[in-house]
Amino acid sequence: MSGGTVAVVGGSIAGCAAAGALLRGGAARVTVFERADGRLRDRGVGIAQHADRFDELEAAGYVSARIAHVPLARRVWRVRDGDAPHGRTLAVHPFPFRAYTWGALWAGLRERVPDGVTYRTGSTVVGAETRSDAVRLRCTDGTVAAFDAVVGADGYRSVVRDAMFPTLRPAYAGYVGWRGTATIEPDGAPAPDEACTVVFPGGHCMIYPVPDGSGGRHFNWVLYTAPSAAFQSGLDQPTSLPPGRLAAEVAEHLRGLVAEHFPPYWARVLLSTPAAKTLVQPIYDLEVPHYGVGRLLLAGDAATVARPHTGGGSVKALQDAVALERALSSSGGSTGGAVAAYDEDRRGVGADMVALGRRLGAAQVEATPDWTALDETGFADWWRDQHGGSDRLSGFGGHALRGR
């Protein structure tokens, strides 16, 4: 791979990071194929990175402190308590995270892609065929291009992963994330460094401030619960619903849940969100047997899909890139050596994150406790059980970068 040509399929967070890693690791020519031809920087959903993991990634040269973000410090767990505006506080946890919009984080990473990388927008790859001396990529426009190696950074519906493991598919977890952005109501607003988690029977909702793109802030929120039975059909196959495409009956079900179970302040936040600013994200699990096979490699969600409760999706994607650069730099020009080293470094981390996501999802969505009966001690025990002790060691927010 060192001195050769490499393609990256997918030009979002994982793809931008992988492209830079490949060039710095010694690839002679790197080409990114990104199917979107619009402005990825305008995607407004929230994303957060643990401050310790950010520091590691900044030291490795993969992120910049200049990217607009909101620093968070604590996470307050709340349950409805009559007419109390914010409900009853169940627990307060340290929460040292940096909150971004997806688009702002992507834009910061895109700016860091070296000039030597060719970044093609509006280029959709539909097939990857490995031959003895190259990988041939086929695009929707009929063009075919050959490369010495290919990195699949094309998300949970990865074409490259399909070429590596044709029968492997993401497994639907049985519930969805209903996402949106909303104005921060100044009357009764929480502290500016607070992330709020509202809990209810059968799920929870995470709410925290992110930059609004105009110098201010607004709320990013995501509510996790099982949808109505009629909506469950069809979700076994990986899919998503773009903003504004939520069926009326599903929206009615979710809005009714909020009205019944949320403290008044937080109910107003969600119910005031225009439909055009909401989307539904089915939740999936996925882990692969290998991150690299032959001339094909995987990064980000193409390799591992861990449930968002882990708080480490973007961190893992960027760490994949760091590991890829190190594998290339230490392989002595051997493609096989680089692929094997990368696979060894990342396969276990990915599996750990998937397992953690399943535990958190089971406790926080699939089999929630009687929140109203939990006292401080009961909540602490419930939280520790999910993490096998400390959330600082479980991988919550992402595992520490190896080989620092």
Range of the domain at 344: 5-41+105-170+285-365
**pLDDT tens, N- to C-terminus, the chain (404 residues):** 778 999 999 999 999 999 999 999 999 999 999 999 877 777 778 999 999 999 999 999 999 999 999 999 999 999 999 999 999 999 999 999 999 999 999 999 999 999 999 999 999 999 999 999 999 999 999 999 999 999 999 999 999 999 999 999 999 999 999 999 999 999 999 999 999 999 999 999 999 999 999 999 999 999 999 987 777 767 877 766 666 566 677 788 889 999 999 999 999 999 999 888 888 889 999 999 999 999 999 999 999 999 999 999 999 999 999 999 999 999 888 899 999 999 999 999 999 999 999 999 999 999 999 999 999 999 999 999 999 988 888 999 999 998 75
pTM above 0.85, yes or no: yes
CA torsion through residues 125, 174, 46, 317, sign: negative
User: Is 150 contained in some domain?
Assistant: yes
**Amino acid residing at 397:** G
Q: Please state, in angstroms and rounded to a whole number, the distance separating the CA atoms of residues 146 and 400.
A: 36
| Model pLDDT, residue 292 | 98
Paired tokens of 206: 């995470």
User: Is 21 contained in some domain?
Assistant: yes
User: Is 299 contained in some domain?
Assistant: yes
| Model pLDDT, residue 242 | 61
Q: Please state, in angstroms and rounded to a whole number, the distance separating the CA atoms of residues 157 and 239.
A: 8
| Model pLDDT, residue 279 | 87
| Model pLDDT, residue 390 | 86
Q: Please state, in angstroms and rounded to a whole number, the distance separating the CA atoms of residues 268 and 18.
A: 41
| Model pLDDT, residue 326 | 97
317: CATH? 3.50.50.60
User: Is 218 contained in some domain?
Assistant: no
User: Is 26 contained in some domain?
Assistant: yes
User: Is 181 contained in some domain?
Assistant: no
| Model pLDDT, residue 248 | 73
User: Is 242 contained in some domain?
Assistant: no
Count Cβ neighbours within 10 Å for each residue of 383-399 and write b for 16 or more, e otherwise.
Answer: beebbeeebeebbbbbb
Q: How many domains does the chain have?
A: 1
Q: Answer whether 2's CB lies under 8 Å from 338's CB.
A: yes
Q: Answer whether 68's CB lies under 8 Å from 77's CB.
A: no
User: Is 12 contained in some domain?
Assistant: yes
